[in-house]
């Protein structure tokens, strides 16, 4: 009988922070969360074993992302994914039409006035996804931040 090696909790000082981050549905990003990533990388086997014992499937992508994977894709996740794809497509199209350099997308400030202008230009598309209000787009951008696609900054976001 194969018994798993004991988990040494003393080697996991950031366990609570890491678990809370992943459990909130957020992706851990190597660039944005240096200390958590370093510990996860160093103790990957310990974390994977512990989270598996708790019923969580820890996934680590070599490009620098980690998350809890859930096999059951809920309709809510699919809806959010579809809405995020639409929002990002419209943001990039809007910026390209305005002459913005697309490779500098991390410099763009996405704030309330930008979202209002985006809604004005793409009213029909956004209405079809029930996103034709700035507050709804802001809520979607908060989800994007949870997934690591945006960063809340001041009164807006950056991609």
| Tens of pLDDT, residues 56-72 | 899 999 889 999 887 65
Residue 79 lies in a domain: yes
Partners of residue 57 on adjacent β-strands = 69
CB 18 within 8 A of CB 40: yes
Partners of residue 157 on adjacent β-strands = 110, 152
Across 98-110, average pLDDT = 90
Examine the pLDDT at 91 and tell me if it is beyond 70. yes
**Residue-wise pLDDT tens digits, 14-55:** 998 998 888 878 899 999 999 999 999 999 999 999 888 888
Residues in contact with 87: Cβ distance below 8 Å, sequence separation at least 6, in sequence order: 131, 137, 140, 141, 144
Q: Give Cα 121 distance to the centre of its chain.
A: 26
Residue 125 structure tokens: 């598309």
The enclosing H or E element of 13 equals none
| Residue whose C-alpha is closest to residue 105's, from 96, 114, 117 | 96
The whole-number pLDDT of residue 46 equals 93
Where among 51, 69, 87 does a domain terminate?
69
Residue 3 lies in a domain: no
The whole-number pLDDT of residue 7 equals 81
Residue 133 lies in a domain: yes
Length of the chain: 159
CB 132 within 8 A of CB 119: yes
Across 90-111, average pLDDT = 91
Whether residue 149 is found in the same domain as residue 124: yes
Whether residue 59 is found in the same domain as residue 85: no
Percentage of the chain exceeding pLDDT 70: 92
User: What is the domain-level CATH number for residue 41?
Assistant: 1.10.10.2250
Whether residue 109 is found in the same domain as residue 123: yes
Residue 2 lies in a domain: no
The packing angle between helices 75-97 and 134-146, to 10°, is: 110
Whether residue 46 is found in the same domain as residue 92: no
Number of domains in the chain: 2
Whether residue 152 is found in the same domain as residue 104: yes
**Residue-wise pLDDT tens digits, 123-146:** 888 887 889 999 999 999 999 998
The whole-number pLDDT of residue 75 equals 47
Residue 53 lies in a domain: yes
Rg (CA), the chain: 19
Residue 99 lies in a domain: yes
The whole-number pLDDT of residue 129 equals 83
Structural domain boundaries enclosing 125: 75-158
């Amino acid at each position: 009988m194969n018994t798993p090696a004991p988990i040494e909790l003393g080697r996991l000082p950031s366990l609570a922070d890491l678990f809370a981050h992943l459990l909130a549905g957020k992706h851990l990003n190597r660039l944005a969360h240096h200390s958590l990533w370093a510990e996860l990388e160093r103790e990957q086997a310990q974390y994977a074993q512990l989270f598996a014992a708790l019923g969580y499937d820890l996934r680590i992508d070599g490009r620098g992302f980690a998350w809890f994977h859930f096999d059951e894709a809920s309709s809510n996740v699919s809806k959010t994914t579809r809405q995020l794809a639409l929002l990002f497509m419209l943001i990039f199209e809007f910026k390209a039409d305005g002459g913005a350099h697309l490779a500098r997308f991390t410099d763009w400030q996405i704030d309330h006035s930008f979202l209002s202008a985006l809604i004005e230009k793409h009213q029909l598309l956004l209405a079809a996804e029930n996103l034709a209000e700035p507050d709804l787009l802001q809520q979607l951008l908060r989800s994007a931040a949870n997934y690591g696609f945006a960063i809340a900054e001041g009164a807006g976001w950056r991609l």
